């Protein structure tokens, strides 16, 4: 057992060595006297001195050393170190913040972003090697999030990202709400419509050909173009139909965004539902019919439950895709987190862009994790 | 009783089953054999109306199958297929209880029936009831398939290559179990197989099909001795038919009582088929065997002359 595992874990080794090099050579932070002036980049050793900078490389080298002989307990120790590293980053930043003047703004430099990325990859690798369960994997992030939260509350006021948030905390919550509402309603409608379409396609080859043709075509239109295409007809509709206008439908805003999202969501939804239903083992269906189940019973008790994990996979893909697309929809005034991204781009304020982008990534990851877990749970019924 | 009168099935232009007539008596085990694509499965599936026949009539106990509601009809007919078709998301117990539940039996009665069947097919309840199909071996899964087909105690059982995917030893064990079951339950069975040894071992009536037609039907020995043409002869084993026939006769039927002669040294059990006895003679290079009973006590003798001698 130990013999078999004693080959060095190359993934961890590379991640950590790249991390050390990045930490010592790339700018770790940038400091600006105010919001408009671009910050001056600083490397780690310039910010808090060589001592601290070198000290920070110790855990990374430690993980690399442990990864050289990856026994189970070595990997466990490495896991603790990586979680520690992730939790220590806000503390180090707090130390930097303490040296700054009150009005200055602290931005994260490329080294820190890269390190965050590398350490999270290391965490994923360790989770897989140690075969930790999904909930345990998430629990590992708790101390990290706690550390960030405490530091933000206490010492990290100069962090530019946090400043941007503070100025707009109400807007921020509203934007998340809008974002989720758009995604949720569009994906929900796509699910309903998609299932109906998939069922109709199973019935008739004609519907299948035409349906997939249209959906595939929709998918190839770039999202911006689709928003543009929807502008004129919706504006026309709103001017003709009063209650639609009263609902807030117009050429721009949530209505075209919602329609476009629906359009893009339909293809993955229909395709997955259709394939899921079609690919149920024909022998199982034959047996179900042969045993004397009615068509309805075959569908509800056999075909549908066996297709469900794949349908769920479709919902997952669609939702993650819609979360990203909704960001673009901010361009036509649909609201949501994309608003910050485009405002930030307009003002050349990168931190504002991040304020929009980071939650979008987090949302996508969360939805992905939740729906994967649900699919796993469904599969436990023995369908594997 | 199942009766087919000039039954034809066309898929578009193609004639899959061509005007076949067949009668399977109650309690009879009828085996369909034939080359691949000759219409065996189609014939079977027309009986439970998974496929509707194009022409002719199919009767169950004198009633045309078309007069039954197809769902009701299928619940009265057990159906076993090669890949078991067990529901992967249901436990073994739930799979077996399917038809009784469809028939709305009371819950306690369903449970009791499932337990009876699992016992009947040698599936210990504690071990198997809660398992899922993917946790079973091929042989176990096939037993569950048979149990499921028998669950509502149907008079008729349709089996489409049920043991086709199993290794020879498991297959033979299940064949014996099927014969045991049949001796107790007296179902009317139509059984499709590719394996001629299996067909000969099981059949009361053997039906040889070719290109949608029945070439010959009758008791296995009759077909062995008097094949109507070369096709049937080669289906039944060609020059190996002698051994196939020997496999159908037991030592018991050919042995002589113990005579005054010395006991032969090599022994053979009274219940084994003649082909095994012949094999023993070939193996030991002898022409005489002592026949022993289950307790290894000599009760007769079998000579090569007797073995090859008069026809049964
Ligand atoms: N649903 C169907 N549609 C069209 N043709 C079919 C259909 N089912 C069967 N056939 C055709 O009918 C013929 C008989 O098929 P069947 O499945 O009854 O053969 P079989 O004797 O069971 O063969 P095998 O031993 O390979 O299982 C074949 O030529 C097959 O292609
Ligand atoms: Mg077949």
Stretch 35-54 of chain B: residues touching chain A, C-beta under 8 Å? 45, 48, 50
Q: Whose CA is nearest to atom 9 of ligand 1?
A: B42
Task: Say if the Cβ atoms of B74 and A292 lie within 8 Å.
Answer: yes
User: Residue A1 has what pLDDT?
Assistant: 44
- Given a cut of 90, is residue A35 above it in pLDDT? no
Q: Evaluate: CB of B182 within 6 angstroms of ligand 1.
A: no
Of chain B, the percentage scoring pLDDT greater than 90 comes to: 72
More confident position, B91 or A329: B91
- Cα(B95)–Cα(B114) distance, rounded to whole angstroms? 9
Q: Tell me the three state secondary structure of residue A183.
A: helix
Q: For position B310, what pLDDT does the model report? A: 61
pLDDT digits (tens, 9 = 90+) for B21-41: 999 999 999 999 999 999 999
Mind listing the pLDDT tens digit for each residue in B190-210? 999 999 999 999 999 999 999
Share of chain A above pLDDT 70, in %: 96
Atom 12 of ligand 1: nearest residue by CA position: B16
Decide whether any atom of ligand 1 lies within 6 Å of the B41 Cβ.
yes
- Residue in chain A lying closest to B150 (CA): A291
B89 contacts A290? CB cut-off 8 A: no
- Cβ neighbour number for residue B26 with a 10 Å cutoff: 12
Instruction: Tell me which of A109 and A300 has the higher pLDDT.
Output: A300
Q: Which residues of A touch B86 (CB under 8 A)?
A: 284, 287
**B107 CA: distance to closest CA in chain A (Å):** 18
Q: What confidence score (pLDDT) does residue B156 get?
A: 94
Q: Tell me the average pLDDT of chain B.
A: 91
Average pLDDT over residues B250-257: 88
- The superfamily (CATH) of domain A169-379 is MetI-like (1.10.3720.10)
Report the residue of chain A nearest B91, measured CA to CA.
A382
What is the percent of chain B with per-residue pLDDT over 70, rounded to a whole number?
99
Does the pLDDT of residue A266 top 90, yes or no? no
Q: According to DSSP H, which parts of A34-109 are helical?
A: 44-68, 72-98
Give the length of chain A: 384
* Partner-chain residue, chosen from A283, A297, A381, that has the shortest CB–CB distance to B81: A283
Centre of ligand 1 from the C-alpha of residue B213, in Å: 13
Integer Cα distance of A129 and A127 in angstroms: 6
Q: Is the pLDDT of residue B238 over 90?
A: no
B132 touches A: beta carbon within 8 Å: yes
Q: Do A382 and B148 touch (CB under 8 A)?
A: no
User: Ligand 1, closest atom to CA B39?
Assistant: 18
B138 CA: distance to closest CA in chain A (Å): 15
CB contact under 8 A, A289 and B50: yes
Atom of ligand 1 nearest to the CA of B42: 18
- The number of helix segments (H) and strand segments (E) in chain B equals 14, 13
pLDDT of residue A153: 85
Axis crossing angle, helix A205-220 with helix A169-203, rounded to the nearest 10: 150
Q: Do A292 and B86 touch (CB under 8 A)?
A: no
Position in ligand 1 atom list of the atom nearest CA B44? 18
pLDDT in the model for residue A132: 84
Residues A89-134 have pLDDT tens digits of 888 888 888 887 777 888 888 888 899 899 988 988 888 888 888 7
Q: Are the Cβ atoms of B87 and A284 closer than 8 angstroms?
A: yes
Q: Which two tokens stand for residue B82?
A: 């090669």
Between A72 and B29, the higher pLDDT residue: B29
Evaluate: CB of B11 within 6 angstroms of ligand 1: yes
Could you give the 3-state DSSP secondary structure of residue A258?
A: helix
B22 C-alpha vs ligand 1 centroid, how far in Å? Answer: 19
Whether the per-residue pLDDT at A37 is higher than 80: the answer is no
Beta strands B63-64 and B288-292: pairing type? unpaired
Measure the CA–CA gap between A225 and A222, rounded to whole angstroms.
5
Could you tell me the distance, in angstroms and rounded to a whole number, from the CA of residue B15 to the centre of ligand 1? 10
pLDDT of residue A251: 67
Across the interface, whether the CB atoms of B88 and A284 are under 8 A apart is answered yes
Q: Is B30 left (phi over 0), alpha (psi -120 to 50) or beta?
A: beta
Q: Is any Cβ of chain B less than 8 angstroms from the Cβ of A380?
A: no
Neighbours of A324 (CB within 10 A): 15
In this predicted structure, which of B241-245, B261-265, B272-276 has the lowest mean pLDDT?
B261-265
pLDDT digits (tens, 9 = 90+) for B91-149: 999 999 999 999 999 999 999 999 999 998 889 999 999 999 999 998 899 999 999 99
CA distance A259 to A226: 9
Average the pLDDT over each of A326-330, B10-14, B59-63, B142-146 and give the range with the smallest value.
Answer: A326-330
Of all atoms in ligand 1, which is nearest to the CA of residue B209? 21
Residues in CB range of A356: below 8 A, 6 or more apart = A175, A327, A337, A338, A339, A340, A341, A342, A343, A344
**Angle formed at CA A88 by CA A134 and CA A52, multiple of 5 degrees:** 150
Q: How confident is the model over B206-219, as a mean pLDDT? A: 94
Regarding the beta carbon of B208 and ligand 1, being less than 6 Å apart is answered: no
Q: In this predicted structure, what is the pLDDT of residue B279?
A: 93
Identify the band that residue B213 occupies on the pLDDT scale cut at 50, 70 and 90. very high
Domain locations in chain A as residue ranges: 10-160, 169-379
Closest residue in B to A283 (Cα) is: B85
Contact B104, B71 (CB under 8 A): no
* Cα B202 from Cα B179, distance rounded (Å): 7
Among A77-91, A300-314, A364-378, which stretch is predicted with the lowest mean pLDDT?
Answer: A364-378
SS3 B218: strand
Going edge to edge, which strands form the sheet with B63-64? Answer: B14-24, B2-11, B55-60, B63-64
Give the closest-approach CA distance of B91 to chain A in angstroms. Answer: 8
Contact B89/A281, CB-based, under 8 Å? no
Distance from CA of A292 to the nearest CA of B (A): 5
What is the token pair recorded at A282?
């024909």
Please report the DSSP string for A66-79 in residue order. HHHS--HHHHHHHH
Quick check: B132 and A382 in contact, CB under 8 A? yes
Are A284 and B98 within 8 A, CB to CB?
Answer: no
pTM, 2 dp = 0.78
Residues with Cβ within 8 Å of residue B64, at least 6 apart in sequence: B57, B58
Mean pLDDT check: name the lowest of A4-18, A219-233, A322-336: A219-233
What ipTM does this complex have?
Answer: 0.86
**From the CA of B149, how many Å to the nearest CA of chain A?**
8
**Residue A329: is its pLDDT beyond 70?**
yes
- In short, whether B37's Cβ falls inside 6 Å of ligand 1 is yes
Q: B74, A283: Cβ pair inside 8 Å?
A: no
pLDDT at A384: 46
Instruction: Decide the pairing of beta strands B77-81 and A27-32.
Output: unpaired
């Amino acid at each position: 057992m130990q013999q078999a595992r004693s080959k060095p874990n190359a993934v961890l080794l590379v991640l950590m060595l790249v991390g050390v090099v990045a930490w010592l050579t790339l700018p770790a932070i940038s400091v600006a006297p105010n919001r408009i002036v671009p910050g001056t980049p600083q490397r780690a050793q310039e910010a808090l001195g060589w001592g601290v900078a070198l000290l920070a490389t110790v855990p990374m080298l430690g993980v690399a050393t442990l990864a050289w002989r990856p026994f189970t307990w070595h990997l466990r120790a490495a896991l603790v170190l990586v979680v520690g590293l992730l939790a220590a980053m806000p503390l180090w930043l707090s130390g930097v913040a303490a040296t700054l003047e009150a009005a200055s703004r602290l931005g994260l430099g490329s080294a820190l972003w890269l390190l965050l990325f590398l350490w999270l990859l290391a965490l994923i690798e360790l989770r897989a090697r140690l075969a930790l369960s999904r909930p345990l994997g998430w629990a590992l992030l708790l101390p990290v999030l706690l550390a960030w939260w405490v530091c933000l509350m206490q010492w990290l006021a100069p962090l530019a990202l946090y400043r941007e948030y503070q100025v707009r905390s109400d807007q921020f919550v509203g934007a998340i709400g809008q974002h989720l509402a758009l995604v949720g309603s569009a994906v929900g409608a796509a699910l309903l419509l998609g299932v109906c379409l998939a069922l109709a396609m199973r019935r008739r080859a004609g519907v299948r050909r035409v349906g997939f043709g249209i959906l595939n075509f929709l998918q190839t239109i770039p999202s911006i173009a689709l928003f543009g295409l929807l502008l004129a007809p919706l504006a026309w509709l709103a001017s003709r139909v009063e209650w639609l206008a009263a609902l807030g439908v117009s050429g721009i805003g949530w209505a075209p965004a919602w329609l476009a999202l629906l359009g893009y969501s339909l293809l993955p939804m229909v395709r997955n539902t259709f394939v899921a239903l079609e690919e149920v083992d024909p022998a199982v269906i034959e047996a179900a019919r042969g045993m004397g189940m009615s068509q309805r019973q075959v569908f509800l008790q056999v075909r549908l439950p066996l297709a469900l994990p794949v349908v769920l996979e479709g919902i997952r893909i669609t939702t993650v895709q819609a979360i990203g697309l909704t960001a673009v929809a901010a361009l036509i005034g649909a609201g949501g987190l994309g608003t910050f991204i485009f405002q930030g781009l307009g003002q050349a304020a990168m931190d504002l862009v991040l304020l929009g982008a980071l939650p979008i990534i987090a949302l996508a990851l969360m939805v992905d994790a939740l729906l994967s877990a649900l699919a796993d749970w469904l599969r436990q019924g023995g369908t594997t | 009783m199942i009766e087919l009168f000039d039954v034809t099935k066309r898929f578009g232009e193609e004639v899959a089953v061509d005007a076949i007539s067949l009668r399977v008596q109650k309690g009879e085990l009828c085996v369909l054999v034939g080359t691949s694509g000759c219409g065996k499965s189609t014939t079977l599936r027309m009986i439970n109306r998974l496929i509707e026949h194009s022409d002719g009539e199919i009767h169950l106990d004198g009633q045309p199958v078309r007069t039954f509601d197809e769902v009701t009809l299928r619940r009265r007919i057990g159906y076993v297929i090669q890949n078991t078709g067990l529901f992967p998301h249901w436990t073994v117990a739930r799979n077996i209880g399917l038809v009784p539940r469809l028939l709305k039996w009371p819950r306690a009665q369903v449970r009791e029936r499932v337990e009876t069947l699992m016992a009947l097919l040698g599936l210990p309840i504690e071990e198997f009831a809660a398992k899922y199909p993917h946790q079973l071996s091929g042989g176990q899964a096939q037993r569950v398939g048979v149990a499921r087909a028998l669950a509502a105690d149907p008079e008729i059982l349709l089996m489409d290559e049920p043991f086709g995917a199993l290794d020879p030893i498991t297959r033979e064990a299940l064949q014996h179990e099927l014969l045991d079951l049949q001796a107790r339950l007296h179902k009317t069975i139509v059984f499709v197989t590719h394996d001629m040894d299996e067909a000969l071992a099981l059949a009361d009536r053997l039906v040889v099909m070719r290109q949608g037609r029945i070439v010959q039907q009758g008791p296995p020995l009759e077909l062995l001795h008097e094949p109507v043409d070369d096709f049937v002869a080669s289906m039944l084993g060609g020059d190996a038919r002698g051994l196939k026939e020997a496999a159908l006769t037991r030592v018991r039927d050919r042995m002589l009582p113990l005579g005054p002669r010395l006991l032969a040294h090599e022994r053979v059990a009274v219940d084994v088929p003649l082909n095994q006895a012949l094999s023993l003679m070939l193996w030991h290079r002898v022409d005489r065997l002592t026949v022993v009973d289950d307790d290894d006590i000599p009760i007769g003798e079998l000579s090569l002359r007797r073995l090859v001698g008069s026809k049964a």
